[in-house]
Structure 1
Amino acid sequence: MSDKDLATLSYEQAREELVAVVSRLEAGGASLEESLALWERGEALAARCAEWLDGVQHRLDAARAEALPE
């Protein structure tokens, strides 16, 4: 999956794939090259999840700011 495809993942999709990547790494048995590719994919998925959470935090902050009386 490319970075462009990664950008289209929902939070839930990215998190689910991240859990699968971590499980595969924890299970062991992968070659060094495969492990490195999994690690890199996991890092990209974790960053995507962080983007989603940052966006949610921004929306919550904006909603709270609107709700405060002037």
Structure 2
Amino acid sequence: MKAWVFLVLGVLLAAMGLLWTLQGLGIVGGSVMSGVTMWAIIGPVVLVAGLVVAFLGLRGLRNASGRHGE
């Protein structure tokens, strides 16, 4: 069960990081974050952290499914 939480949290963090990056670069407008360099720096950091958390969750799911077959 814990692996699902990591997977969902990681995907949400990665999506948020991608959005912040695009806003910081000025590609996505309509926000006070648009065109602000700080978000172009914070976004990729959050994106990578989210991918790591999602990977850990996915790895946990794979390990858990392998144990059920034993």
* Structure with the larger helix share: 1
Per-residue CA distance 1:30-53 (angstroms, 9 max, x = gap): 3xxx32x22211111111211221
Determine the structure 2 residue equivalent to 1:42: 43
Q: Which has the higher Rg, Structure 1 or Structure 2? A: 1
Distance 1:27 1:19, change over 3 A: closer
Over aligned residues, Cα RMSD in angstroms? Answer: 2.6
Q: Which 10-residue stretch deviates more, 17-26 or 60-69? A: 17-26
Percent identical pairs in the alignment equals 11
Q: Which stretches in structure 1 are left out of the alignment for 5+ residues?
A: 1-9
Unpaired runs of 5+ residues, structure 2, are: 1-8
Partner of 2:22: 22
TM-score for the superposition, normalised by structure 1: 0.54
Would the alpha carbon gap of residues 67 and 58 (structure 1) be closer, same or farther in structure 2, given more than 3 Å must change? Answer: same
TM-score (norm 2): 0.54
TM-aligned CA deviation for residue 62 of structure 1: 1.2
